[in-house]
Amino acid sequence: MPPATRWDIFCTVIDNYGDIGIAWRLARQLSAEYGLSVRLWVDDLASFQRIRPEIDPRQPSQTLAGVDIRRWDPAAAAVPEPEVARVVIEALACQIPEPYAQAMARQDPKPVWINLEYLSAEDWIEGCHGLPSPHPTLPLVKYFFFPGWTPGTGGVLRESGLYARRDAFQASPAEQHAFWTRLGLPPPKPGEATLSLFAYENAALPELLQAWAGQTQPTRLLVPEGRPVRQMAQFFGATGAQPGDHWHTGQLTVHILPMLDQDEYDHLLWACDCNFVRGEDSFVRAQWAGRPLVWQAYRQEEDAHWPKIQAFLDRYTAQVQAGHTQLLDGHAPAPDCGQALATLWQAWNREQGAGIAWPAFWQCRQALALAQQEWNNRIRKLGDLADNLVHFCNEKL
């Protein structure tokens, strides 16, 4: 069989931007780098518009970057049978409409059906990656495809040329100046730390703001509008907040940014000294930025998110410990940087103690930046998720 040329990706937007962010990155890469005809079915185009301003939520069909974008009502009938794709992807465990599944069953040969799962570092995903799951009543087989950071998984998303664009930006004062100008901000002052924060609400945020305000180094915190902005306003005694607002206390200055599209958010990650991120999409992009980062996992019932946090920390802190036990200036031994990172991540996700954990983490920033680069070099060898997915599906056709 020739490689599949038409792919359908279905996405239900659950967590504001993470689901659609991942689905869009995948769709765009499949179209641009593999010449595939990709339709992206999305149930919430308004959220999609926040990360891609070109999207018109009123339109049932539109094209962006070569991708055919369709407004999807999961309760409605699906596309006509002749348009069933050769590869069908349920992004992040959503479910395709039953009429569409029935149309798939009538195709000969049958489409390749993929359940693209959530990203995890847990050991068990290696044993489940690529496993088939026969449909209980239809002559169809669904395959589980697990992103991950180890051999035996699908890898993580990384489009071609990402490193080159990042390195060019970080090496170009002109590009960085243009970026700060677009945000309406001056470039960082000499000696000033620049942090970004894209997070869920977090009870530990006020104590972290206090820690930044009380340290000796001037710190600029950049916060795209979203969930923690109301907490920011309350901390500074304001009645509300909107993009363009800024506050100052002690050594800390906070700027509220507009919601950035994906490309500008990448620039923000590349421009900052440390990035607080959440969920899955921004977590992966912050890793590719090569800067120290702090991850806030999506909170789940019965603390089901904690095994995911610990599984990643086990792998990641081992990389930190192996490569960097001394500060780059060659003076006194560094604190245990792997432990410093784990302590802050755990405090941030428990929503208490983050202010106390921050100083040790920040002392390790140079070691953590180098460890991140080594980590990235390691996971690049796994191939990127889109490429691994294309090869997997072509083998099944």
- 141-185 confidence digits (pLDDT tens): 999 999 999 999 999 999 999 999 999 999 999 999 999 999 999
In terms of domains, do 20 and 128 share one? yes
Q: What CATH number does the domain containing 299 carry?
A: 3.40.50.2000
In tens, the pLDDT along 352-373 reads 999 999 999 999 999 899 899 9
397 belongs to a structural domain: no
385 belongs to a structural domain: no
Helix (H, G, I), strand (E, B) or coil at 134: strand
pLDDT of residue 319: 79
Given the residues 19, 43, 44, 281, select the one marked as catalytic. 19
Q: How far apart are CA 71 and CA 340, in angstroms?
A: 45
> Given a cut of 70, is residue 331 above it in pLDDT?
no
- Top-confidence residue, 154 or 5: 154
> Given a cut of 90, is residue 19 above it in pLDDT?
no
- Mean pLDDT within 120-126: 94
12 belongs to a structural domain: yes
In terms of domains, do 166 and 150 share one? no
391 belongs to a structural domain: no
pLDDT of residue 333: 46
- Sign of the dihedral defined by the CA atoms of residues 26, 28, 33, 36, in that order: positive
> Where on the phi/psi map is residue 75: left (φ > 0), alpha (ψ -120 to 50), or beta?
alpha
Number of domains present in the structure of the chain: 2
Of 124-128, 223-227, 283-287, 334-338, where does mean pLDDT reach its minimum?
334-338
In tens, the pLDDT along 31-75 reads 999 999 999 999 999 989 988 999 999 999 999 999 999 998 877
Q: How far apart are CA 282 and CA 266, in angstroms?
A: 9
| Single residue among 134, 154, 174 that ends a domain in this structure | 154
280 catalytic? Reply is yes
Q: Residue 248 forms beta bridges with which residues?
A: 253
In tens, the pLDDT along 291-309 reads 999 999 988 877 788 999 9
181 belongs to a structural domain: yes
Structure tokens at 218: 């001037």
Locate all alpha helices (DSSP H) within the chain, ordered by sequence: 18-34, 45-51, 98-105, 124-128, 162-170, 173-183, 205-214, 229-235, 262-271, 281-289, 306-323, 337-350, 354-363, 365-380, 385-396
390 belongs to a structural domain: no
314 catalytic? Reply is no
Domain span at residue 56 reads 6-154
238 belongs to a structural domain: yes
Given the residues 207, 280, 281, 387, select the one marked as catalytic. 280
How many C-beta atoms lie closer than 10 Å to residue 314's C-beta? Answer: 13
In terms of domains, do 147 and 175 share one? no
Average pLDDT, the chain: 91
Q: Which residue has the tokens 């990172």?
A: 341
pLDDT of residue 395: 94
In terms of domains, do 170 and 72 share one? no
- Mean pLDDT within 373-380: 92
In terms of domains, do 127 and 15 share one? yes
| Single residue among 130, 154, 178 that ends a domain in this structure | 154
